[in-house]
Structure 1
Amino acid sequence: MSTSSCTSIKALLSPRSFSVCRRIEPPPTDPPHTHTHSPPLQVVGTPSRAPGPYFDMAPFRRTTSVSVLALVGNVGLSLLLLLHCSSITVKAATYGSKIEAGETECYTEVLEAGGTLGFTFHVTDGGAFDINAVMKVRFTPPVDKTMDLGRFHYNAHFAGLRDRQRETVLNTWQRATDGSYTYTAPPILKTRHGLPEEVSICFDNSFSALTPKWVRFNIMKRDVLEVDPDAVSKVESEMEEELHRYGTILFGLAQDANALQLVGESDRVKLNSLAKIMAAGLLLNVMVLLTMATYQYVSLSRFLAFQVRCGKFSVSTT
């Protein structure tokens, strides 16, 4: 049973009128005690697919692509860090002296009377960047008079005084990373004999059982002021003294420059070590991501294959 209704609408600007008809259908009613069964679920566009719920593989593909990109990025960073480490290692190989574990190495320098010796060292690599060092000086005791020098060769007392040299420790460093010391030998006016002194520096790595240490050090010497006795005027002597004073200032600047250079070398070696650690961490990260991606792929593949065999749903690869 159906009913229809028409509504007449008159146009405001036109003398004509028109009608709009709307057909009203009653709501459908089901017959009593009847049951209808819906057909099986069929996904439109894939007629060959077996009936069952639809499983989308797009999220799995996105996850796999992200994992692959992460692997590629980590591998690239690892290669860059390894190349950086190799370049640093080549540069750092020409610096420093290697002190083996459990050994001691000494270096000796002869210093004239009145001269100045500047010593600077820095541990650039190995273990905790620490080492023991000692600086000593061996000298001949001074005599009372300059005329006693002639007796050094034929007088037993003065010959023994000449041969029995004394040794004094100037400075020591315990488990130090860097250090510096400046020593000035006594002048001729004080010793009366003007014999040179022997300065020795020893690096001791006996406290280390396995790790060698790489130490870089600098030794700078500066002679005492020598005034020319043939100078014709006092002006030349004053010029020599002024030049010697400027030389002393430059000597101090050179010491500071050497210390800064050693610090820069140590920082470069530390950067090299940090780059190696980061490269190892990235390689480990690559291995972990690769293992996780493989496990994820195998697990999901087995799970989906099992579900398909059970007929619970089908997998779409389109």
Structure 2
Amino acid sequence: MAVALAFLLSFLCFLQLALRTHATALTTAIGANERICFYADVDKAGEKIGFYFAVQSGGSFDIDFEVKDPNEKVLLDGQRERQGDYVLTANTVGEYSFCFENDMSTLTEKLVDFDIMVESEPRREPPAKPGQIADHTSALEESIFRLNGMLINIKRTQKYFHTRENRGFDTVKATKNKLFWYAVLESLGVIGMAVFQVYVLQTFFTKTGRRYKV
């Protein structure tokens, strides 16, 4: 009975923690010289905003990004970044913008995978020593926070391997296209050289001149 009650309390606490966090995971294609912005609402000051992005394919796998608060103040920015994982504290209530810009490419389209997460409560700081439990935190809550941390680490690891897989696939695809067109050009060159040699031989052995009728 005690084990079932503890399991029920753990499930309820985990469900409450999940409801306090809402996230948006998207994948978008950004064309050459294009700027795309996404927005997230913050209901109260002090909330945590998690921002993750990774360029999956296109060019050198880099992108420009910019994060602004509701007052148009730049909180984060970067140029030619391949990926990033940031945590911000929202000190202003309102709409935050997350923009990507692909102005360094004139023809190449970029595929970007990103995640915007807003937490209703500040993240709990880990204890100073392993196994130490704060006075106001029970052992059950400590286990839930540890489980949540492990799940976050697993999610980040999955994102890392997912990005590596997509970039490797894009590199293989680009190499395959280059080899295909190289083979086509090489074949056309061989055919053109053969036709030219036949034409030269025919011209060399064919006598051209005028015929006179008596």
Normalising by structure 2, we get a TM-score of: 0.61
Match of 1:136 among 56, 68, 71: 68
Q: Distance in 2 between matches of 1:305 and 1:195?
A: 89
- Structure 1's 201 and 259: CA in aligned 2 closer, same or farther, altered over 3 A? farther
Match of 2:101 among 187, 196, 204: 204
Number of equivalenced pairs = 169
Q: Distance in 1 between matches of 2:122 and 2:139?
A: 12
Amino acid at match of 1:105: I
Q: Are residues 1:297 and 2:198 paired?
A: yes
Structure 1 regions of 5+ residues with no counterpart? 1-94, 139-165, 187-193, 227-233, 307-318
- Structure 1's 195 and 245: CA in aligned 2 closer, same or farther, altered over 3 A? farther
Aligned match of 1:120: 53
Amino acid at match of 1:117: G
SS in structure 1 at match of 2:32: coil
- Structure 1's 111 and 270: CA in aligned 2 closer, same or farther, altered over 3 A? farther
Contact persistence 1:123–1:131 (CA under 8 A):
no
- Once the two structures are TM-superposed, the CA of residue 279 in structure 1 deviates from its matched residue by 0.6
Q: Distance in 1 between matches of 2:66 and 2:86?
A: 13
Q: Distance in 1 between matches of 2:154 and 2:94?
A: 25
- Once the two structures are TM-superposed, the CA of residue 117 in structure 1 deviates from its matched residue by 1.9
Structure 2 regions of 5+ residues with no counterpart? 1-25, 124-134, 208-214
SS in structure 2 at match of 1:133: strand
- Structure 1's 258 and 198: CA in aligned 2 closer, same or farther, altered over 3 A? farther
Q: Distance in 2 between matches of 1:106 and 1:195?
A: 19
Contact persistence 2:52–2:114 (CA under 8 A):
yes
Q: Are residues 1:174 and 2:68 paired?
A: no
**1:241-291: CA deviations, max 9, x gaps?**
211122112212312321321232122112211111111110000001111
Q: Give me the identity figure in percent.
A: 23
Q: Distance in 2 between matches of 1:114 and 1:244?
A: 18
- Once the two structures are TM-superposed, the CA of residue 111 in structure 1 deviates from its matched residue by 5.4
Q: Distance in 2 between matches of 1:241 and 1:168?
A: 37
Q: Are residues 1:283 and 2:180 paired?
A: no
Whose radius of gyration is greater, 1 or 2?
A: 1
Query: In angstroms, what is the RMSD of aligned CA positions?
Result: 3.6
Q: Distance in 2 between matches of 1:179 and 1:170?
A: 17
Amino acid at match of 2:178: I
Residues 1-318 of structure 1 aligned to structure 2 (within 5 Å): 96-110=27-41, 114-115=47-48, 117-122=50-55, 124-126=57-59, 128-138=60-70, 166=71, 168-176=73-81, 178-185=82-89, 198-220=95-117, 224=121, 237-300=138-201, 303=204
- Structure 1's 300 and 207: CA in aligned 2 closer, same or farther, altered over 3 A? closer
- Structure 1's 209 and 291: CA in aligned 2 closer, same or farther, altered over 3 A? closer
The structure richer in strand per residue is 2
Amino acid at match of 2:75: L
- Once the two structures are TM-superposed, the CA of residue 135 in structure 1 deviates from its matched residue by 2.4
Aligned match of 2:10: none
Aligned match of 2:8: none
**1:178-215: CA deviations, max 9, x gaps?**
121231547xxxxxxx9966443100234545544332
- Structure 1's 217 and 185: CA in aligned 2 closer, same or farther, altered over 3 A? same
Amino acid at match of 1:131: I
Q: Distance in 1 between matches of 2:156 and 2:95?
A: 20
- Structure 1's 254 and 170: CA in aligned 2 closer, same or farther, altered over 3 A? farther
Aligned match of 1:51: none
Contact persistence 1:104–1:202 (CA under 8 A):
yes
